[in-house]
Amino acid sequence: MKLLIVESPSKAKTIEKYLGEDFRVVASVGHVRDLPKSNKAAIDVEGGFIPHYEVVKGKERVISQIKSLAKKAEEVLLATDPDREGEAIAWHVEQAVGLKDPKRIVFHEITKEAVEEALESPRKIDQSLREAQEARRVLDRLVGYDLSGLIWKKVRYGLSAGRVQSPALRIIMEREREIRAFKPETFWQIVAVLNDLNFECSVEPRDKKQVDQIIEEGKKDKWKVIDIKEAKVGRAPRPPFITSTLQQRASSRLGWSPSRTMSVAQRLYEAGHITYMRTDSTNLGVQATRQIEAVVKEKFGPDYFESHVFAKKSKNAQEAHEAIRPTHLNIESAGAMDEQKKLYQLIWQRTVASQMKSAEIMRTKVIANIVQSSALNMPDFWLNGSRIIFDGWLKADPASASEDVILPKFNIDDPLKLIKIDSTEKQTEPPLRYSEAGLVKELEKRGIGRPSTYASIIKTLEDRGYVEKISKALHPTDTGEVVSTFLEENFSTYISDSFTAEMEDELDEIANGERTYLKTLSDFYTPFQKEVESKENIEKITNLGSAPVDIKCPICGSGMIIKLGRGGKFYSCEKFPECTGARTLEGKELAGPKDTGELCPRCGKGNLVTREGKFGMFTACSRFPKCKFVKKDPEGQANGAGSTGIQCPVCKSGYMSERRGRFGVFYSCSNYPDCKYAIKAKPTGEICKICGSLMMEGTKTIPERCSDKSCPNHNPPS
């Protein structure tokens, strides 16, 4: 028996169908080892940046199973994903299990042909790829801990910074400052509706009297077409998808976040429907091109096929990889769920269209004016549009054709009927905030991050409360602004575009065997550590500016200053800590901590104080965050605010209470943080007969379900 190890259980099931009884396929379920949470125990800097790994909690059973199967196997093959992360996982499995001379195989699509071909070309684990991933992990840990520790001391406890997330946050903040500094200018747009088509004219200079005169003259005279400008242009097909362009197109077409796009793509890949979805190469293999040619000629006709080779987008694109494409081009729809079918269709259309002829478009500009325009110095009105002469690749991707405005045929001197003419006062608009897709495009353009990191960068910024998505646009929060400003003022070099991009290049050089792990870490960390140490003496940021003069302290009447709290910016009395008066930025009075006179039973150093939090008043230690004691009310917690009266199944002493977090309402134990048990929906009070977890409210088709995702009762048959 041969043992083949992959990352995910679904991938294991797909591959197992292709291999005979001689193979056993098992999953590591992602990483089996990682750096410990404690930074001191994680990396031996003095010893040469040696990482000390530990088994991921809960993976002991997985390692034990693989070890048991490996002893019985005549050969062990590691078939984790074909990137640095996959190479690292393969190495960690080898180290954790104690495998002796395992073989490494790589395939970029999960098909029978690809797996069998990979089995014929086994190799050893690529230590250069593995070291590149390890260098990234160690760098991110060192930067994160050092910067975060400094921010805790100088800004606010609990904040964090990262090697790649911080430059991304800086980019968002730079755009925000542009928007704030923007000074709008007023102008008038005049629209003449001629033959039910909107012809436009923007008036320069911005003169209302001139606008009124144009409208008056336009109503008096007859209109006609005075000129037509046409240009025949070709719209070349776009390259097949790489990671960044897939995320951008799924955002614009489907409204998906990058993390959702990658999650759905992962499932399509593991089911064998598409090639590997983390790639920066637009390359298509010979076999794939032949498949596309057959599909195009059969479905659209021989006149539509044309072979294209696309230039790589980045200098470090891995041309051995392929672009994201369907594994079988003759299959036009694939995926178990509707969202998978939607994403697969995007990939299929883009892939097939990439090997088709350019569309031929007639770009047209129709210019109109009144008959007596020359005598009155009347400005021209225009209408832009196009006509498709030959649809070419748009035949495979018809949604892209909607980008063109189709105009009827016009001739010079054709009379035009005026339906109405009117003006609208407008203001010039500031630059737009980045959408998630826009930020991915900007990060790729600046060389920040790599295909596997785009989605996680944005998710990290959102999860940490540095940005929030409002109507698809990324807005920096008060916390994000303060953190970014602190880093820009004190560590501008390390969060600059050039430095971050150069570091990515150095990691690529490690992967290519052109640079050593130790030199890369040493060259970076030695000056970085000195820079961090030099900032230890800067003053703590407690004052973010003065409040407006009309905002006074609700307790003593003194002036107030702006501070950063856990909920964002607020006004604090300038005499703090002598006076604890505080207000929200809207002017509402905030209740300050009130001393109860009781000594904290946990630390014995601070007094218990009553504070106002997100979920109302609570009593806690005055030494927070050094001491996180929160007083419980054992008699009233079952019937307290938000309580369901249902006992927590974990600690047996708390009660499930309604709370509101970043992602909406959820229910957790009233003994938090001592007990962190939580579920997504309201508990019903019933206990699951299979696993013993709480049952919770479900949907119309499934009125009740188990709160444990791994339990069969979580998604019972409707």
Q: Residue 596, SS3?
A: strand
Q: Which residues does residue 231 pair with via DSSP β-bridges, in sequence order?
A: 363
Query: What 3-state DSSP class applies to 111?
Result: coil
State how far Cα 421 lies from the chain centre.
45
d(C-alpha 245, C-alpha 239), whole Å: 9
Give the three-class secondary structure for 568. strand
CA 344 to chain centre: 20
Backbone angles phi, psi at 186, to 5 degrees: -85, 140
Distance CA 657, CA 639 (A): 9
Is the Cα torsion angle 352, 326, 267, 84 positive or negative in sign?
A: negative
Amino acid letter, residue 57: K
Strand partners, 109: 275
The single residue of 145, 276, 344, 677 carrying the catalytic annotation is: 276
Among 477, 434, 491, smallest CA distance to 162 is for: 491
Tokens of 305: 């096929």
Please answer whether residues 641 and 635 qualify as being in contact, where contact means their C-beta atoms are separated by less than 8 angstroms. no
Helices (H) and strands (E) in the chain, counts: 18, 31
Backbone angles phi, psi at 466, to 5 degrees: -85, -30
The dihedral region occupied by 344, where left means phi > 0, alpha psi between -120 and 50, and beta the remainder, is alpha
Cis peptide bond upstream of 527, omega within 30: no
Strands lying side by side in the sheet with 560-565: 560-565, 568-573, 582-583, 589-590
d(CA 56, CA 411) in angstroms, rounded, equals 73
446: its two tokens: 């600046």
CA separation for the pair 659, 666 (Å, rounded): 5
Which residues share a beta bridge with 43?
51
> N- to C-terminal Cα distance for the chain?
40
Residue 429 is which amino acid?
E
Residue 46 CB partners (closer than 8 Å, separation 6+): none
Of 112, 90, 74, 105, whose CA–CA distance to 27 is shortest?
A: 90
> Quick one: CA dihedral 54, 57, 62, 64, positive or negative?
positive
Three-point CA angle 186, 190, 193, nearest 5° = 155
CB atoms within 10 A of CB 104: 20
Pairwise CA distance, residues 318 & 569, whole Å: 45
The question of whether 276 is a catalytic residue gets the answer yes
What's the CA gap between 346 and 336, in Å, rounded? 16
Residues 368 and 194 sit within 8 Å (Cβ to Cβ): yes
**Helix or strand (DSSP H, E) at 595:** strand 594-599
HEC string of 624-673 equals: CCCCCCECCCCCCHHHCCCEEEEECCCCCCCEEEEEEECCEEEEEECCCC
The b-or-e profile of 453-487 (16+ CB within 10 A means b, else e) is bbbbbbbbbbebbbbeeeeeebebbbbbbbbbbbb
150 close to 143: Cβ distance less than 8 angstroms = no
3-class secondary structure, 369: strand
CA distances from 161 to 498, 502, 541, 544, 569 (A): 18, 19, 16, 19, 19
Q: Are the CB atoms for 573 and 581 separated by under 8 Å? A: yes
**Which residues are catalytically annotated?**
276
